[in-house]
Amino acid sequence: MQQEQLLHILELVKDGKLTPDEAANQLNVNSREGSIHQQEDSVRILSCNVDDMTPESISYALGVFRKSGALDAWWEPIGMKKDRPGILICVLCREEDRDEMIRLIFLHTSTIGIRELLCEREVLKRQQSTVETPWGPVRCKTSTGFGVTKTKPEFDDLSQIAEKEQLPLDEVRSSVLDILDSD
């Protein structure tokens, strides 16, 4: 943020044209405009506690959530009232998928209530490519931003090669990474 912008915002607060909270929001927006953030968005975390579902039912429900558009779905062991062990089911989704995910959580779990958190998140910019290997093409994801670059071969491709060639998965992964490093 440039010094003139900062002074202008402070002047608006002094003159009563901006509240301190509005100024803080304006400072945050302006500071992000010139930042190295690659992608930011808002997501929802929907969660519920259950203590009366089978492991198979929980697994099935998480699969339904993912297939229906959830960015991720997971469970965590928790302690519930009366010292009963339970499960915390969490679904990460986009804002536009919120209502459908809530419907699916009520439909596929035994819960009678859902908590939700609105979260801002920073994500690296992603790009997909393909690298040629002695076993055929392997898809790779490259993520960049914040001065960081990460490249990761696609697990499904690695596991198919490992199974077909009867090689350890780590050996295939290592070989693919070596090919990527040499490019």
DSSP characters for 123-151? E-EEEEEEEEETTEEEEEEEEEETTEEEE
Alpha carbon separation from 89 to 49, 58, 60, 75, 157 (Å, rounded):
6, 8, 12, 5, 29
Q: So what's the pLDDT on residue 116?
A: 96
Burial of 30 (0-12, 13-18, 19+ CB in 10 A): middle
How does DSSP classify residue 114? Answer: -
| 59 touches 73 (CB < 8 A) | no
Site of tokens 């492991």: 55
Give CATH 3.30.70.1380 domain extents, the chain.
40-123
Q: So what's the pLDDT on residue 5?
A: 59
Q: How far is CA 84 from the centre of its chain?
A: 30
Q: What is the pLDDT of residues 79-119, one digit of tens each?
A: 998 899 999 999 999 999 999 999 999 999 999 999 999 99
Q: So what's the pLDDT on residue 25?
A: 55
Q: So what's the pLDDT on residue 14?
A: 72
Q: So what's the pLDDT on residue 134?
A: 93
CATH number for 40-123: choose from 3.30.70.1380, 1.10.3430.10, 3.30.70.20, 3.10.129.10: 3.30.70.1380
φ, ψ for residue 99, nearest 5 deg:
-60, -40
Q: How far apart are CA 153 and CA 129, in angstroms?
A: 9
Residue ranges, the chain, pLDDT below 50? 1-2, 28-37
Q: So what's the pLDDT on residue 36?
A: 45
- Mean pLDDT, the chain, rounded, equals 87
